[in-house]
A and B are shown apart, each in its own frame.
Chain A
Amino acid sequence: MSAEKKVVVKICTGTLCHVMGGSELPELAGHLPESIKPKVEIKGMTCGGFCKDGNRKPPFVTINDVLMEQASIEKIVSNLEKAISDDAE
């Protein structure tokens, strides 16, 4: 990944994601380590419809369009750290 291209995190703001713990995810920006902060872009999206598939559990986010279920700030941060360090190698 080139230096100017950021990792895009999209947070689903749909009803189910919101009640299943997603309401805290917009605070992600405040929990990002300084080292990766400039490389991450955080966006919101309206219900992505991922909950329609009963096998997957909300809240959902996508990281560069890859779906993550049962997302938490911790999980997103560790995933981002991994993605960005992999990219650097």
Chain B
Amino acid sequence: MATADYFIEIAHRNIQKAGQEVCGDVFLSRKLYDEGRTISVLSDGLGSGIKANILATLTASMALNFTVEHQPPERTSQAIRDALPIDQDRKISYATFSIVDIEYDNETSIVEYGNPPFIVFRGAAPYKGIIRKDFNADIKKCNFCAQREDRIVLFSDGVSQSGIGRIEMPFGWDSENIENYISGILEKNPGISAEELAQKIIGRAYMNDSMHAQDDISCIVIYFRKPRKLLICSGPPYKKEKDRLFADTIECFDGNKIICGGTTAQIIGRELGLEIETDLFSGDNQLPPVSYMKGIDLVTEGILTIGKVAECLESGEMLPEKNPAGKIIRYILANDHIRFLVGTKINEAHQDPNLPVELEIRRNVIKKIAQILKEKYLKEVEIQFI
């Protein structure tokens, strides 16, 4: 969730215990756009495999939904304990959970039950200002206000106990060594994405276990960072008088810029005095080629290309690197805030009923893309019609 200047990037990576089909650690996350909250939950089910996965899924979904409803942690944990089935062999019911609830102003509260303690990094150094309060014997709660460039790292005991019993780490990978390892990465690579960092941490835990995971290994990284922004312009403004404003908006935008539409590109070229160069061999039989303009990252054809973008974002299909729609998707995925500036002028030539393909209305396709990006890709999306 982003207030004006933040974006919260959340990534989760896991490796299941050797010999198991599924991971017994479960991660769930939800962005509540109306409230500006982001809630993430990690649960580690008792044991491993399917049984653990079911316990953890139940725990994580209850923890998530109770938190959405602002239920206090003791009530949440009681409800989970009441609901969990009792393990036939061990005669107990158990699954751990950690709940991270981030408010719109980055006020963060974290509830922990049974998982290894999370770590916060402010820049490259572990942040020591976290005060954990005991709720009851096992549940700990803490609050702090996250700042830009903070990272919250949570992991299951598969990480902290990795390598246990080896001569050099008899008690596993202890928290001091984990902190040093992560600090080392952050010093070398201060802008590392949440995803890459989570991958490195589980990779190291897996190595500690000599590539034979002793337990389910999971790691979550929550990274508060400067948002990366992308502007996608498509369609000529409804009124010609807006052309200048349209072009100025693009010129002044701080971030990646894409123009979808030949006529749109020409209007912007005309207003800003820029030449358009078409790379004739960059298209295929489905999509027309891309063009380039100074100061604009990419210029593509309009409706066919954005139609393909919508289709592939929805299905998850990967497109080759040189495909025009594939290029747009790569820009979208690399950015956090996607802003669409959509001209609503209808291209009358596209309304001819004799055309061999149906050309959709741009506005509708972009609304669909925006919806998919919000729900499936958790992007911040804004559409402005002009």
Flag B335-368 by CB within 8 Å of A: 1 or 0 each.
Answer: 0000000000001111000011101000000000
Write out the residue numbers on chain B whose beta carbons fall within 8 Å of the beta carbon of A67. none
A46–B276 contact, CB under 8 A?
yes
Most chain B beta-carbon neighbours within 10 Å: one of A13, A15, A26, A46? A46
Write out the residue numbers on chain B whose beta carbons fall within 8 Å of the beta carbon of A18. 283, 287-288, 301, 304
Nearest CB of A to B284, in Å: 8
B355–A13 contact, CB under 8 A?
no
Is A19 interfacial (CB 8 A cutoff)?
A: yes
Is A52 interfacial (CB 8 A cutoff)?
A: yes
In Å, the complex CA distance between A26 and B289 comes to 9
B262–A46 contact, CB under 8 A?
yes
Is B318 interfacial (CB 8 A cutoff)?
A: no
| Residue in chain A with minimal CB distance to B265 | A46
Nearest CB of B to A73, in Å: 14
Nearest CB of A to B330, in Å: 21
B276–A23 contact, CB under 8 A?
no
A19–B304 contact, CB under 8 A?
yes
| Residue in chain B with minimal CB distance to A22 | B288
Write out the residue numbers on chain B whose beta carbons fall within 8 Å of the beta carbon of A20. 355-356
Is B152 interfacial (CB 8 A cutoff)?
A: no
B301–A44 contact, CB under 8 A?
no
Write out the residue numbers on chain B whose beta carbons fall within 8 Å of the beta carbon of A15. 262, 288, 301-304, 347, 350, 359
A16–B349 contact, CB under 8 A?
yes
Write out the residue numbers on chain B whose beta carbons fall within 8 Å of the beta carbon of A49. 263, 266
Is A40 interfacial (CB 8 A cutoff)?
A: no
Flag A15-48 by CB within 8 Å of B: 1 or 0 each.
Answer: 1111110111010000000000000001111110
Write out the residue numbers on chain A whose beta carbons fall within 8 Å of the beta carbon of B301. 13-15, 18, 46-47
Q: Indicate whether A11 sits within 8 Å of B359 (C-beta atoms), given known contacts A18-B288, A46-B299.
A: no
Write out the residue numbers on chain A whose beta carbons fall within 8 Å of the beta carbon of B137. none
Query: Please, how many residues of chain B have a CB less than 8 angstroms from a CB on the other chain?
Result: 30
Write out the residue numbers on chain A whose beta carbons fall within 8 Å of the beta carbon of B266. 46-47, 49
Write out the residue numbers on chain A whose beta carbons fall within 8 Å of the beta carbon of B359. 15, 19
Is A51 interfacial (CB 8 A cutoff)?
A: yes
Query: Please, how many residues of chain A have a CB less than 8 angstroms from a CB on the other chain?
Result: 23
Is B78 interfacial (CB 8 A cutoff)?
A: no
Is B279 interfacial (CB 8 A cutoff)?
A: yes
A13–B349 contact, CB under 8 A?
no
A23–B349 contact, CB under 8 A?
no
Q: Which single member of A17, A19, A24, A44 contacts B280 (CB below 8 Å)?
A: A44
| Residue in chain B with minimal CB distance to A54 | B349
Write out the residue numbers on chain B whose beta carbons fall within 8 Å of the beta carbon of A19. 304, 355-357, 359
A52–B349 contact, CB under 8 A?
yes
A13–B262 contact, CB under 8 A?
yes
B280–A11 contact, CB under 8 A?
yes
Is B88 interfacial (CB 8 A cutoff)?
A: no
Flag A49-69 by CB within 8 Å of B: 1 or 0 each.
Answer: 101101000000000000000
| Residue in chain A with minimal CB distance to B266 | A46
B291–A46 contact, CB under 8 A?
yes
Nearest CB of B to A60, in Å: 11
Write out the residue numbers on chain A whose beta carbons fall within 8 Å of the beta carbon of B280. 11, 13, 26, 42-44
Q: Indicate whether A51 sits within 8 Å of B349 (C-beta atoms), given known contacts A15-B302, A46-B265, A46-B291.
A: yes
Nearest CB of B to A19, in Å: 5
In Å, the complex CA distance between A49 and B269 comes to 15
14 additional A-B residue pairs with CB within 8 Å, beyond A15-B288, A15-B302, A19-B357: A13-B262, A14-B262, A14-B263, A15-B301, A15-B304, A16-B349, A16-B355, A17-B288, A23-B285, A45-B262, A46-B262, A46-B265, A46-B266, A51-B349
A residues within 8 Å of B by Cβ?
Answer: 11, 13-20, 22-24, 26, 42-47, 49, 51-52, 54
Q: Could you list 28 A-B pairs, sorted by A, with CB under 8 Å?
A: A13-B278, A13-B291, A13-B301, A14-B262, A14-B288, A15-B302, A15-B303, A15-B304, A15-B347, A16-B350, A16-B355, A18-B287, A18-B288, A19-B357, A20-B355, A22-B288, A23-B283, A23-B288, A24-B285, A26-B281, A26-B283, A26-B289, A43-B278, A43-B280, A44-B280, A46-B291, A49-B263, A52-B349
Q: Please name the 4 residue pairs, one residue from A and one from B, whose CB atoms are nearest each other, closest first.
A: A44-B278, A47-B262, A46-B262, A44-B280
